[in-house]
Structure 1
């Protein structure tokens, strides 16, 4: 006798998968909040003016929606397997796509995607020194996907007949929303990585100091890896959801729930990895003697911005002034942010995204 993956089994397995990822998410959230709230050099809370409130608020919002999604999933399973005693049993209960829990889970998915994609666009905007023209196509894709998500939620809320998530009335909205989201993520990530690669190439051409050039190149490469890996994590999880949805498998319940958690995990991991690099670079800067003409205080180590310099003289590299170098084309990117605590977090993200911020926008 063939075993079918019916909606009851799919809901149980989906909740199990999401709970595992939710545990991973909570651990990453703890480290993320530590990076945002604690001073890595003074071993205490950061001052209010140093806290990146934008990233903190976004992290808390992603936590809210990730938690609600798990709670709604648990409530739905309790309703189906424990509280409902009508005809058709659990299958009949889970087939009601217009039930308020299903509608709220759909809204939760849309909201989480909206925030994650919006942060990716914001990072791109920051990396390009707040040049809004660069992100116009990404914004259009983002708004289009959000509208489709809102229409999908409305469709589920007003569909007064038994149906699953892949009902024909919802397919156009789901397909369009996912296609626009994937296109936006690919385009925006490519823009960010392209900008970093361009600065890397120009630095390699203009800088005569090979030691400093190697430091800046290695840091730019690290930033590019963080962005690409985060984008890949989100994109792969979304593609898995698309495959299960197109195939008409009930596994799409679990894969869509997983995307909600992975958006938050990706966001947290970028901040965690950037903070780890910042702390490491701070320790290196404190003990370094060949890159600074005089000793820096322990709570204020020297920052080495990755910039397109006007000059390549050693005196510029050895300066320990609080002012940062400004590129001849207006490109100034600080990627270790030892001296400016919030630069990297201001330019980081959830869905696979940049960890850079131009110093001119600080």
Structure 2
């Protein structure tokens, strides 16, 4: 990109603020769905949905505020670009901004992992261990990098940040692939006629309990499920891919994508929980039921896979 670090920060904060403005209506819509939609969800399920979204909204607001303060207070275009990164670490705003981003990333990745756990029933033992381990590793590495860079004002913690990005990217990319593959297999089974009358509950998102899935209606169900993936994890995966590519290439565009990603994560995570909230009933749990399908239905869907 044809501008330096501070210009990238300026563009990144502007883009982040714009995305945040788009996020506010989504947040309000989510609150209306959870608090006003009839029938109302059970109290425990309601707060299970509300807590992460409200926390993400608070963190996203703080991230925008800290970003604006960085620009207003100290980030001057007079500093040589070769020293800009080191100068930024002399201010507490930079460390706070990084810490908020890590918190947003942790919550967002956790929601994606849980969504993947619900969709990919047969691979739960893999999803239960592999992505959470990578998530814990990336979070720990990011915290170390922030601490080291803020206290040394050097790039000594750069290796930890780079490894943390690899771990974080692995989490979102593998979860997205797991979900896409699972839905593709379901679609294939339905088209082959291996499932004729299976009751799909709301774990795939947007499907009401009792929906009968056959060869014809299965396509509609899969399209709905794919919409969930596109609206949630896939958006996050694309933005993470762009950032990681710019990061490896050493381009200042990575700063623009990085700042915007804080809001993209919140939007992606909120979309996941919006779809979950739409499937809630008074007797439901996190996403409408504790079981994706009964044992016989699951056997029909997965037979021959």
- TM-score by length of structure 2 reads 0.76
In 1, the alpha carbon distance for the partners of 2:163 and 2:292 equals 37
The equivalent residue for 2:125 is: 133
Contact (CA 8 Å) 2:183, 2:226: kept in 1 or not? yes
How far did residue 29 of structure 1 move?
0.9
The equivalent residue for 1:260 is: 262
**Residue 114 of structure 1, aligned match among 89, 94, 106:** 106
Runs of 4+ in 1 over 6 A off after TM superposition: 88-94
Does 2:252 align with 1:250? yes
In 2, the alpha carbon distance for the partners of 1:181 and 1:64 equals 22
Question: How many residues matched?
Answer: 275
The equivalent residue for 1:171 is: 158
How far did residue 256 of structure 1 move?
0.8
- Quick check: which one's helix share is greater? 2
Does 2:180 align with 1:193? yes
SS at match of 2:250: coil
Higher relative contact order (CA 8 A, sep 6+): 2
Distance 1:68 1:90, change over 3 A: farther
What is the CA deviation profile of residues 231-250 of structure 1, one whole-angstrom value per residue up to 9, with x for unaligned ones? 22112212222233333333
What is the CA deviation profile of residues 66-89 of structure 1, one whole-angstrom value per residue up to 9, with x for unaligned ones? 1111111111112116xx9xxx66
SS at match of 1:5: coil
Residues 34-183 of structure 1: matches in 2 within 5 Å? Answer: 34-40=32-38, 46=40, 49=43, 51-80=45-74, 95-127=87-119, 133-135=125-127, 136-160=129-153, 167=155, 169-183=156-170
What is the CA deviation profile of residues 21-53 of structure 1, one whole-angstrom value per residue up to 9, with x for unaligned ones? 110111111112222222246xxxx36537432
Residues 188-337 of structure 1: matches in 2 within 5 Å? Answer: 188-202=175-189, 204-207=193-196, 212-213=213-214, 214-273=216-275, 278=278, 337=279
Structure 1: state its 5+ residue gaps.
162-166, 279-336, 348-354
SS at match of 2:74: helix
Q: Which has the larger radius of gyration?
A: 1
How big is the alpha-carbon RMSD for the aligned residues of Structure 1 and Structure 2?
3.4
